[in-house]
Amino acid sequence: MGAPVNRRVALARIPQGMPEPADFALVDEPVRSPGVGELLLRTVWLSMDPYQRNWMAGARNYGTAAALGATVIGRAVSEVIQSNDPRFVSGDIVCGETGWQTHPVASAEAVEPVDTSLAPISTALGVLGSPGLTAWVGMLDAGKPGRGETVVVSAAAGAVGAVAGQVARIMGARVVGVAGDPAKCRHVVDDLRFDACVSHRDPDLGAALARECPGGVDVYFDNTGGSVTDAVYRRLARDARIALCGLVAEYGAADARGHDLRSLLASQATLKAFSVRRNLYRMPEWRRQASAWIREGALVYREDVVQGIERAPEAFARMLSGRTLGKALVRVAEDPPRH
Ligand SMILES: NC(=O)c1ccc[n+]([C@@H]2O[C@H](COP(=O)([O-])OP(=O)(O)OC[C@H]3O[C@@H](n4cnc5c(N)ncnc54)[C@H](OP(=O)(O)O)[C@@H]3O)[C@@H](O)[C@H]2O)c1
């Protein structure tokens, strides 16, 4: 057997618009030996998230700025192969920002254990991880829907949107999703049990929203920005709340522009942007709540899986362009047997 190899996906070129295969390079290199307090990991699942596009565009708020040749950043679920830290033993499952690579070496400080008794370990990147927590804190703290109020969620079939809408439904609101195509809209209504869903590819999105939100939009959970946000702003009810979660339609877009503040003034709306990173301390509470809802059948989730680290760039573009349904993941290796 040869020396163990770490295969990683490096940034080869700054993407312009939608990332292309030539923006990335596969690099094989020897696995590094872990030092004191470090772990050698075997990546099992990689998470595909819109913020990675923002990092590629040069945003600096993700720890390191993107540099050519750098491993693409990202969260992953991994198995501990070798531990030089007393908190972990080999065979443990951990989650952390270890990037697009098969055998990262990480500080034990920088990863957290995954509770394998709750659900399949991939959920630590989706419904029981950062996207789920994002949806929950955004809806609770910024959206604050009352019973019977109308909530609109953009990117409703995605990792965050699917949970955000279901949380609003559990809180007693009437929930309308916005998604890319009819199959997604069916999933949002039939499986996620939103009250309605409209497609942002509808040539008259404004009329579709007016039909589904006759009394206006009390809460807008904004995952996208772009033309969806323009259309929803025109339907805001008086004292509407906007939970500004993300602007995936605008990341890396050269022509991104602002939205019409006159609609906010006219409806006397409140806009609150929020970040999951300031709320990570609430993860244990979210996991307890979400696992109970999953057991009761109140909260459902879907995963969209692509096989193989070589296909991470393709999986990433699929997620950004709306060709995924549910949480976008790359399976890098088989799940270890449950212990
Ligand atoms: N504030 C925070 O702390 C925080 C944390 C995590 C994520 N976020 C944000 O939450 C949002 C959703 O993230 P996610 O991980 O759940 O991604 P996702 O929804 O699973 O995937 C992104 C989806 O956005 C939709 N989309 C892309 N371009 C669009 C456009 N031009 N117009 C309308 N929809 C478009 C596509 O679905 P369709 O087929 O429906 O178009 C696409 O699949 C992102 O903006 C992300 O940055 C924020």
Reported as a single tens digit per residue, the pLDDT across 191-240 is: 999 999 999 999 999 999 999 999 999 999 999 999 999 999 999 999 99
CA 233 / ligand 1 centre spacing (Å): 18
Q: 153 and 59, same structural domain?
A: no
Q: 316 and 189, same structural domain?
A: no
Q: 17 and 122, same structural domain?
A: yes
Ligand 1 neighbour 326 (Cβ under 6 A): no
CATH number of the CATH domain containing 230? 3.40.50.720
Q: 117 and 98, same structural domain?
A: yes
CB 67 within 8 A of CB 11: yes
In a domain, 79, yes or no: yes
In a domain, 206, yes or no: yes
Ligand 1 neighbour 129 (Cβ under 6 A): no
> Ligand 1 pocket test: which of 224, 227, 230, 318 has the largest number of ligand atoms within 8 Å of its C-beta?
224
Residue 248 clears pLDDT 70, i.e. is over it: yes
In a domain, 295, yes or no: no
CA 51 / ligand 1 centre spacing (Å): 9
In a domain, 69, yes or no: yes
Ligand 1 neighbour 222 (Cβ under 6 A): no
Q: 97 and 158, same structural domain?
A: no
Burial class (CB in 10 A: 0-12, 13-18, 19+), 8: buried
Chain segment 11-63, per-residue pLDDT in tens: 999 999 999 999 999 999 999 999 999 999 999 999 999 999 999 987 766 66
Q: Identify the pLDDT of residue 253.
A: 75
CB 212 within 8 A of CB 196: yes
pTM of the full structure: 0.95
CATH number of the CATH domain containing 80? 3.90.180.10
Instruction: Give me 299's structure tokens.
Output: 């909260």
41: left (phi over 0), alpha (psi -120 to 50) or beta: beta
Q: Identify the pLDDT of residue 95.
A: 98
Q: Identify the pLDDT of residue 45.
A: 98
Q: 250 and 179, same structural domain?
A: yes
> Ligand 1 pocket test: which of 75, 166, 223 has the largest number of ligand atoms within 8 Å of its C-beta?
223
In a domain, 336, yes or no: no
Closest ligand 1 atom to residue 131 Cα is: 6
In a domain, 338, yes or no: no
Q: What percentage of residues in the chain have a pLDDT greater than 70?
A: 97
In a domain, 288, yes or no: no
Q: 314 and 262, same structural domain?
A: no
CA 28 to chain centroid? 28
In a domain, 337, yes or no: no
Quickly state the pLDDT bin for 1 (edges 50, 70, 90): low
Closest ligand 1 atom to residue 250 Cα is: 31
Whole-number Å distance between alpha carbons of 25 and 256:
28
Residue 261 clears pLDDT 70, i.e. is over it: yes
Q: 59 and 195, same structural domain?
A: no
> Looking at residues 136-158, what average pLDDT do you find?
98
Q: 246 and 172, same structural domain?
A: yes
Residue 289 clears pLDDT 60, i.e. is over it: yes
Domain region containing 317? 5-126+302-331
Q: Identify the pLDDT of residue 258.
A: 87
Chain segment 63-83, per-residue pLDDT in tens: 667 889 999 999 999 999 999
CA 109 / ligand 1 centre spacing (Å): 29
Domain count within the chain: 2
Q: 120 and 36, same structural domain?
A: yes
Nearest CA, atom 2, ligand 1: 275
Q: 150 and 59, same structural domain?
A: no
Q: 93 and 219, same structural domain?
A: no
Nearest CA, atom 11, ligand 1: 223
